[in-house]
Structure 1
Amino acid sequence: MNENEAETVWLSPSVDAWLHHAHDTRRLKDKFKKAQRAIRIMRQAGPSYPSFCTHQMEHLPGPGGATIWNSYVENKTPQAWRMYWVRCDDGSIQIVSIGPHDHYPGEQPDP
């Protein structure tokens, strides 16, 4: 990706709904801000942004058997949050879930 190009990033309906809920939930404000920042950086800099530490989830297929990737939202904290995403056929990125490191990608954590 050229540094002047932006990634096309879209959110799965469950991620979008969770973000709307988190925005209005006091105890999730910090996670909401970190998730929003990570999505913004993904759009601006792409998955190779150094602090994302992006890596493939080797034993976990994504929607339709697609390769699923994991990028850091947080680091060095218990239950650090991650973004799970797939690269679509058109080259865009779909974020399929955001949540604690141990949650099942494709499902949003309980609010």
Structure 2
Amino acid sequence: AHVRGGGGAGGGAGARQEAREAVVCGKLNLRDSTLCRDAGPILAGCQCFACGKHTRAYIHHLINTREILGDVLLHIHNQHHYAQFFGAIRESIRTGTFEAYSARFLEKRKHMR
């Protein structure tokens, strides 16, 4: 299972927006055996329920044993980040900075491939 991840916690609105952009660009393979003992959240600084209550190792176990809870937790995490991403888009439209926001996003995305 792949989870979009990256970024981290920030201070002000600019830092939060940059974190949202980074989150959208990254990927994490939770089937990777190196995560079987990882006590961290899916994404450091993430405020979603899945990251707040469960470790990468536990979700790795759930995914590899095909427990439906693993898919549910990944869905919760991903939905949280989609909501943040689209919230950042709405905010950039509201403030008239969408062109700059989209240019930064596309530039970062180009380097992630």
Work out whether the TM-score is over 0.5: no
More strand by share: 1
TM-score, scaled relative to structure 2: 0.28
Instruction: Report the structure number with the largest CA radius of gyration.
Output: 2
